Structure 1
């Protein structure tokens, strides 16, 4: 079965005032607030997350269950400018990772990983893009 969970940590979160969050809200069900082991950087008006080997480094976000995962992920890939048809290296890559829900359970979810060098980018302390705004 194709994984239908998506972890979002930036402008696609609730309250992000992003039209693509409206798309996500129509095409999915909010599951829970969650964290993912990684570091979060300010790229521009949006963040980028990269994996971390340090369990203390967490990115805060939300998990959604996509109702039509193949359709929704194709649209989100276009929004994130990754996947077929985009010049490589793309700014993001979509990968399956374990995320921890607020209740302590872990699940597999798609995460858009920042795919460019992070040197010179501002590290967002605490890993919460909304708290850093």
Structure 2
């Protein structure tokens, strides 16, 4: 069985003032800083990442190992408003994507990918929600 990793790039990161990193810490263990091949947009007071074919586009974030994915993922889905109980199209789609750990190891992790059009949204040039708060 493959371990369940999750890549977080916004309000779930440890350095934010959100309550959500505490929930994540309760159900997961920090593995490493990481990057995801994508672009980061300012959606509102939070970011949205979309995948990119350009290897120069990288979103900065963190990877966690989920202890009980069957417990943690539904809680995170609710926070990200992902699932059939939310209006379509969901703002985010939870997808398994390749992410590169700072250590150089490539892992497959769950990523909440922004699932709506990005036209009119501001690109976060730093690709790092922590360095450039929205």
TM-score (norm 1): 0.96
Alpha carbons 2:3, 2:65 under 8 Å: kept: no
Question: Once the two structures are superposed, what CA deviation does each residue of 1:21-46 show, in whole Å capped at 9, x if it has no partner?
Answer: 11001111000000000000011110
CA distance in 1, matches of 2:2, 2:91: 24
Alpha carbons 2:13, 2:62 under 8 Å: kept: yes
The reply to whether residue 10 of structure 1 matches residue 14 of structure 2 is: no
Match of 1:89 in 2: 89
RMSD: 1.0
Match of 1:119 in 2: 119
Question: Once the two structures are superposed, what CA deviation does each residue of 1:82-108 show, in whole Å capped at 9, x if it has no partner?
Answer: 112112100000000000000111000
More off after superposition, 59-68 vs 119-128: 119-128
1:2 CA displacement = 6.0
CA distance in 2, matches of 1:40, 1:125: 8
Match of 2:106 in 1: 106
- Structure 2, unmatched stretches of 5+, are none
Alpha carbons 1:32, 1:64 under 8 Å: kept: yes
Alpha carbons 1:42, 1:121 under 8 Å: kept: yes
Alpha carbons 1:58, 1:126 under 8 Å: kept: no
Between structures 1 and 2, the one with greater helix share:
1
CA distance in 1, matches of 2:126, 2:45: 18
The reply to whether residue 35 of structure 1 matches residue 35 of structure 2 is: yes
CA distance in 2, matches of 1:87, 1:97: 24
Match of 2:73 in 1: 73
Alpha carbons 1:3, 1:69 under 8 Å: kept: no
